[in-house]
Structure 1
Amino acid sequence: MVRAWILPILLVLSGAAVATGQFSKGSPGTAAALLLVFLALAGVHSPLIFPRAIGAQEAQRLSALDGRPVVFWRPGCKYCIRLRIRLGRSARQVHWVDIWRDPAGAAAVRAANDGNETVPTVVVAGRPHTNPDPVWVREQLSPSA
C-alpha cells in the first residue's frame, strides 16, 4: 500500500518546495498556481481516482455472475489513468484490481502477458486484453450494469 503513495507524496513535496521558492522570490501567484498543478498531478497519480479495488478472486467471481469486465491496474500507470478518466462514470461498473495490493492479481496479469505485469489488462468473458481502447471497454459494459 505504501508503494502506491510514493509518487503522489513526492509530487506534493516537490510542489511545496517549488512553491516555497517562488513565494520567497516574491511571486505568490506563481507559487499558488504551481502548488495547485503539483497537487492535481498528485491526485491523478494517487489511488483515490479509482473505484475501490477488490481482490482478483473476488473480481473474477463477481464478473462471472454479472458479466462486467475486470480491470487489473496499478497506481501511477498513465495508461490506467487514461482508461479510468475516459470511462468516466462507467468506471464504477467495472471490477478494479490493484496488482500492487493483490499478489493474485499480479500473477493473473503475468499469466496473461507472457510474464510481464503490463497494465491495464482488462478481462472480458475470461479473455484478457492488454491496454485496450477505453471506448471498446465501455462497449463491453452491459446496459443493465
Structure 2
Amino acid sequence: MPELSQLTPDEGSITMFTTEWCGYCTRLKGQLKRDGVPFTEIDLEDSPEHVAFVEHVNGGNRTVPTVVFPDGTAATNPSLAEVRARLAS
C-alpha cells in the first residue's frame, strides 16, 4: 500500500481516487474542472496498488470517489463545496 505522504497533493489541489464506471466520480470531476480546482486522478482499475489505501481510509470499503487533501485528510464522495472549503482552510 502506498504511503499517505506519497499520495498527499500540493497545496491548492487534491488527489482523487476513481473508477471509470462511477457516476459520482464523473460528476465531481466535471465540477472540479468547471471550477478550476486542480486534481490528480487515480483510477483504481488502472492502479490496483492503490486499492488497499482506499479501503484503509474507508473502513474496509472500496468507495469512490475518495479525495485526499493537502493536509493529509481524506473524504469520501465530497461535494464541490466541501472540497473548496477544505482547500481554503
The answer, yes or no, to whether TM exceeds 0.5 is yes
Residue equivalent to 2:24: 79
Which runs of 5 or more residues in structure 1 are unaligned? 1-55
**TM-aligned CA deviation for residue 126 of structure 1:** 1.1
If each structure's helix is expressed as a fraction of its own residues, which one has the higher value?
A: 1
**Partner SS, residue 135 of structure 1:** helix
Residue equivalent to 2:59: 114
If each structure's strand is expressed as a fraction of its own residues, which one has the higher value?
A: 2
Residue equivalent to 1:60: 7
Residue equivalent to 1:95: 40
Give the partner amino acid of 1:94: F
**TM-aligned CA deviation for residue 114 of structure 1:** 1.4
Q: Give the Cα–Cα distance (whole angstroms) in 2 for the partners of residues 104 and 127 of structure 1.
A: 20
Q: Is residue 70 from structure 1 mapped to residue 29 from structure 2 by the alignment?
A: no
Q: Give the Cα–Cα distance (whole angstroms) in 2 for the partners of residues 140 and 114 of structure 1.
A: 21
Q: Percent identity over the alignment? A: 35
**Partner SS, residue 27 of structure 2:** helix
Which runs of 5 or more residues in structure 2 are unaligned? none
Which gives a bigger RCO, structure 1 or 2 (Cα 8 Å, sep 6+)?
2
**TM-aligned CA deviation for residue 141 of structure 1:** 4.4
Q: Give the Cα–Cα distance (whole angstroms) in 2 for the partners of residues 110 and 97 of structure 1.
A: 14
State how many pairs are aligned.
Answer: 83
Residue equivalent to 1:104: 49
Give the partner amino acid of 1:101: D
Residue equivalent to 2:80: 134
**How high is the TM-score relative to the length of structure 1?**
0.49
Give the partner amino acid of 1:60: L
